[in-house]
Chain A
Amino acid sequence: MSAPLWDITALAVDAAVAETPMAARARTALPEAAVTVLAPGDALPQAPNGGRALHVKAHPGRFLRPCPATRHYRCCGYQIIHIGENCPMDCSYCILRAYFRDRTLTAFANTEAMFAELGRVFGRDPSRLFRVGTGQFADALALEPITGHTRELLGFLAGHPNVVLELKSKTADLTWMEADPDPKTVLPSWSLNAPVIVAAQERDTASLEARLSAARACVQAGFRVCLHFDPICWFEGWEREYAATVDMIFNYLAPDDIAYISLGSFRCLPELPGRLIAEGRELPRYMLGEFTIGPDGKTRLLRPLRVRQLRFMARRLAGHGFSRGLYCCMESDEVWRAALGQAPRELGGLAAHLLACAHNPGGTRPCS
């Protein structure tokens, strides 16, 4: 018997969604899991053999949400479709640690309600462009082989060519390609990090090589891809390590294959280090940087050090011929100017700039 996918040994399905295609797909994908159908008010069953539970349920609220930005830092105007909660991978810096105390994974199976809401928003004005992603509280593709969520969503979005869907993941899953979407409407994307951070701080994620191989497979299938250096961590030898990852990218991809790359220095809720310690983990060294509390209440590396990180990355990427579509995630104009030489305003606003990058590879407006 092979190990259960993501260690899922219990599948709990709310009665309200028990007959949905997603519930059926999950049963098929998890043949060994103990299946329970939950009546309203029933407690989640304990997952057998120390595994975790996947809870397939209906989401009662809104599905489309703006990316949680603050007024103090420049936001990229991304919108997120809420497909589920929690992640089977385990990154020491993950914000989900602050939200979910247990290992239960949740997938929302009421896709009809989701499509009704999305159809209203995306269909109102077909000339209005959208850049959306999935998984505000989850990895976009971690559960895709089980739920087929993205394949369903891509089928729906085929009727909305004004929407570009970014699929951000740390897996190398490409099963969503079975939906055969128009390559112009999907931006598969991967978070990248320094090799030592991937090895020590991103448990159960795909290796850098696997992520970049998947990206190359997408490019070969006609897609452009996005990459995210977030969080960029500060530790002894960070320049050498991040340079290695940047150089590795261009062993797999050409600059024109990449729609955009984001750069984000490590930031977190001030309570995150305490959470890690409470879990019995040693505090990673990158969490011992020279941090201050920013106006958004988050812990961030001291500004001159962040600038040094971002500038280094920008220069290294430029050395490989990539400067188009490079942006800073949640940074101020001061940091933008110091690191990239211009502020979002000079690009016509970050949200508009990235929308143009996403929808228009050649671009009537140059991306940078």
Chain B
Amino acid sequence: MQPLFLHPRDIDLSAPHLFWAAPPDAALTDSLAAQGQLTPALVLETDGRPILAAGSRRAAALREIKGRTLCALALPEADPDAPALAPDGGPLPLPLRLGLIYLASNLGRAVTDAMAVAAGRYFAPLAGLDGFLALAGPQLFAPDDRRGRLLARWLALPPALDALLASGHVPLGAGERLAALAPDDLDAFLPLLGAVRWSRGSLSAALAFLTEAARLAGETPAATLARSGLLDLPGRGLSPNDLTAGLLAGLRRLRYPAVTTLEARFTALSRELSRGSRVKIRPSQGFESDCATFEVTVKNRQELSKAAADLAAMAAAPALPRLLAVAQEDVSEEPGDKT
């Protein structure tokens, strides 16, 4: 193979098969300036025109250094000795070959979820989902890596969501739940998706609350969300943790209005009752019976005496009978009532 020396500005660095291309950092530019190009890039020549197959960061860095050319090796148009990869046993179409060369040249790099999705966005339209996983899967994932399945589900989502995956707001595992939303509902939820860093569990819970609340109300999740007031929450300057907790609590309230009403009443009464003491009060399991558990931890006689006095005061407090009978009050709303 003869090396070619190409002007980096003559090379197309935005070709879609360079799906992991990233701008060069200063270290690479400095190294190229000082040491020269130590590793050649790879090109495929078609119709006498070289197409960059690997080395986009080097090419981009060399563009910044006056008078430098890109050293590249030209790969043969089709390797007669290579095993047949195309499903029909024939030569691979050029775009697939370019993509696979690019992947192979990146072998050894840790593949993040966002990188795997970027590869999927390139390959899947060319080879189908199964074809993509068969061709590129072994280069992307270890054999025991379950991300292939998750990736396939993510690719059903609009590409606009990939940025939220790359920024760490949404995990790959949430793809299936998100893909189950209708496009309008997904659009409506988008502002909340980008507002916090969701774990798979918290996003799954949030979407379950929302879709079930909507189904009970006989409306779309978008409509439920619009009337919930939750879309305003990200603009209130809450800390990330408080915002996540607030969104989850708000969605849970939509789904379980009676349960959360009961919980709130119990919490308010138990606070009133235990104010100034270290006694913790818990309701019966599922509010099934008219009883509560009072719990206090003591380290010495004095603390025990204080707890005993606190408990005696609670026994006489008017809030106690209300707390014990909290589940006797009606909390029902008609299913489907708007909250």
A residues within 8 Å of B by Cβ?
72, 234-236, 238, 285, 288-290, 292-295, 300, 302-305, 308, 332, 334, 338
Closest chain-A Cβ to B50's Cβ sits at a distance in Å of: 53
Residues of A within 8 A of B259 (CB): 290, 292, 302
Verify B218–A236 contact, CB threshold 8 A: yes
Closest chain-B Cβ to A175's Cβ sits at a distance in Å of: 40
Verify A236–B288 contact, CB threshold 8 A: no
Determine the distance from Cα of A334 to Cα of B256 in the docked complex, in whole angstroms: 22
Verify B216–A288 contact, CB threshold 8 A: yes
Contact (A300, B286) CB under 8 Å given A285-B216, A290-B257? yes
Determine the distance from Cα of A93 to Cα of B207 in the docked complex, in whole angstroms: 25
Residues of A within 8 A of B329 (CB): 304
Closest chain-B Cβ to A208's Cβ sits at a distance in Å of: 22
Contact (A302, B215) CB under 8 Å given A234-B335, A236-B334, A334-B289? no
Verify B335–A308 contact, CB threshold 8 A: no
Residues of B within 8 A of A293 (CB): 285-286
Determine the distance from Cα of A214 to Cα of B89 in the docked complex, in whole angstroms: 70
How many residue pairs bridge A and B at CB < 8 Å? 67
Residue of A nearest to B286 (CB): A292
Residues of A within 8 A of B256 (CB): 290
Closest chain-A Cβ to B220's Cβ sits at a distance in Å of: 15
Is B328 positioned at the interface, with any CB of A under 8 Å from its CB?
A: yes
Residues of B within 8 A of A305 (CB): 258, 331-332
B residues within 8 Å of A by Cβ?
212, 215-216, 218, 256-259, 262, 285-290, 327-332, 334-336
Residue of B nearest to A335 (CB): B288
Secondary structure call for the A interface: mixed
Verify A308–B332 contact, CB threshold 8 A: yes
22 contacts between A and B (CB under 8 A): A238-B335, A285-B215, A285-B335, A288-B215, A289-B335, A290-B259, A292-B285, A292-B288, A293-B286, A294-B288, A300-B286, A302-B259, A302-B331, A303-B286, A304-B258, A304-B287, A304-B328, A304-B329, A304-B331, A332-B288, A334-B288, A334-B289
Residues of B within 8 A of A332 (CB): 288-289
Contact (A295, B287) CB under 8 Å given A234-B335, A236-B334, A302-B259? no
Determine the distance from Cα of A276 to Cα of B262 in the docked complex, in whole angstroms: 30
Contact (A304, B327) CB under 8 Å given A290-B256, A290-B258? yes
Verify A334–B290 contact, CB threshold 8 A: yes
Closest chain-A Cβ to B71's Cβ sits at a distance in Å of: 58
Verify B212–A288 contact, CB threshold 8 A: yes
Residues of A within 8 A of B257 (CB): 290
Determine the distance from Cα of A285 to Cα of B329 in the docked complex, in whole angstroms: 25
Interface centre among A238, A292, A302 (most CB of B within 10 A): A302
User: Which 4 A-B residue pairings sit nearest by Cβ, starting from the closest?
Assistant: A292-B286, A236-B336, A236-B335, A290-B258
Give the residue of B328, B335, B336 whose beta carbon is less than 8 angstroms from that of A338: B328
Closest chain-A Cβ to B303's Cβ sits at a distance in Å of: 31
Interface centre among A290, A293, A308 (most CB of B within 10 A): A290
Residue of B nearest to A301 (CB): B258
Determine the distance from Cα of A303 to Cα of B263 in the docked complex, in whole angstroms: 13
Residue of A nearest to B212 (CB): A288
Determine the distance from Cα of A293 to Cα of B286 in the docked complex, in whole angstroms: 6
Closest chain-B Cβ to A110's Cβ sits at a distance in Å of: 41
Residues of B within 8 A of A288 (CB): 212, 215-216
Give the residue of A235, A289, A302, A334 whose beta carbon is less than 8 angstroms from that of B262: A302
Determine the distance from Cα of A285 to Cα of B215 in the docked complex, in whole angstroms: 8
Verify B216–A294 contact, CB threshold 8 A: no
Verify B285–A294 contact, CB threshold 8 A: yes
Closest chain-A Cβ to B5's Cβ sits at a distance in Å of: 62
Determine the distance from Cα of A303 to Cα of B286 in the docked complex, in whole angstroms: 8
Verify B331–A295 contact, CB threshold 8 A: no
Determine the distance from Cα of A293 to Cα of B285 in the docked complex, in whole angstroms: 7
Interface centre among B215, B288, B327, B334 (most CB of A within 10 A): B288
Determine the distance from Cα of A288 to Cα of B216 in the docked complex, in whole angstroms: 7
Verify A292–B287 contact, CB threshold 8 A: yes
Closest chain-B Cβ to A269's Cβ sits at a distance in Å of: 15
Closest chain-A Cβ to B261's Cβ sits at a distance in Å of: 9
Contact (A308, B330) CB under 8 Å given A290-B256, A290-B258? yes
Query: Beyond A236-B336, A294-B285: 6 further Cβ-contacts under 8 Å?
Result: A235-B335, A304-B258, A304-B262, A304-B327, A334-B289, A334-B327
Residues of B within 8 A of A308 (CB): 330, 332
Determine the distance from Cα of A285 to Cα of B256 in the docked complex, in whole angstroms: 14
Residue of B nearest to A296 (CB): B288
Residues of A within 8 A of B327 (CB): 303-304, 334
Determine the distance from Cα of A175 to Cα of B257 in the docked complex, in whole angstroms: 48
Interface centre among A72, A235, A238, A303 (most CB of B within 10 A): A303
Residue of B nearest to A292 (CB): B286
Residues of A within 8 A of B334 (CB): 236
Give the residue of B216, B258, B288 whose beta carbon is less than 8 angstroms from that of A295: B288
Verify A304–B212 contact, CB threshold 8 A: no
Determine the distance from Cα of A292 to Cα of B259 in the docked complex, in whole angstroms: 8
Closest chain-B Cβ to A332's Cβ sits at a distance in Å of: 6
Closest chain-B Cβ to A287's Cβ sits at a distance in Å of: 10
Residues of B within 8 A of A235 (CB): 335
Give the residue of A290, A300, A304 whose beta carbon is less than 8 angstroms from that of B330: A304
Closest chain-A Cβ to B251's Cβ sits at a distance in Å of: 14
Residue of B nearest to A289 (CB): B335
Residues of A within 8 A of B287 (CB): 292, 302-304
Determine the distance from Cα of A305 to Cα of B330 in the docked complex, in whole angstroms: 8
